[in-house]
Amino acid sequence: MKMIIIQSFQWLVQHELVHIYGYVVMPNHIHVLWEQLKMNGKETPKESFEKYTGYIFLKHLKKNGESLNEYATEQKDRNYIFWQKSSFGDTNNK
């Protein structure tokens, strides 16, 4: 799963959506310091990152027969959730 996160960061940088100053991938969370450079269509890079990694995490866990119980949610619009709503701090001073 760590490589999914790293590859997603690489994609965002290659497409000039963000500049990443540094990151740390921990067993159950990440720290990233990035600067948003532009939108990804109608989505922010954060939204694209969360949506794509969530999709790939789910696919990976199902393929490998790993438990999804810890990611289950009762939200009406989804069955699983991988990122907390406040998972990214917004430090824009605009």
Kindly list the averaged pLDDT for each block of 10 residues, start to end, along the chain of length 94. 97 98 95 97 96 96 90 92 75 48
12 vs 16: CA distance, rounded Å: 6
Asked whether 58 and 66 are in contact (CB, 8 A), the reply is no
Residue type (1 letter), 40: N
Give the model confidence (pLDDT) of 61-76 as tens digits: 999 988 899 999 999 9
User: Rounded CA gap, 76 and 18, in Å?
Assistant: 31
Instruction: Kindly list the domain boundaries of the chain, sorted by start residue.
Output: 2-71
Measured CA to CA, the distance from residue 83 to residue 87 in angstroms comes to 6
Output the pTM of the full model. 0.85
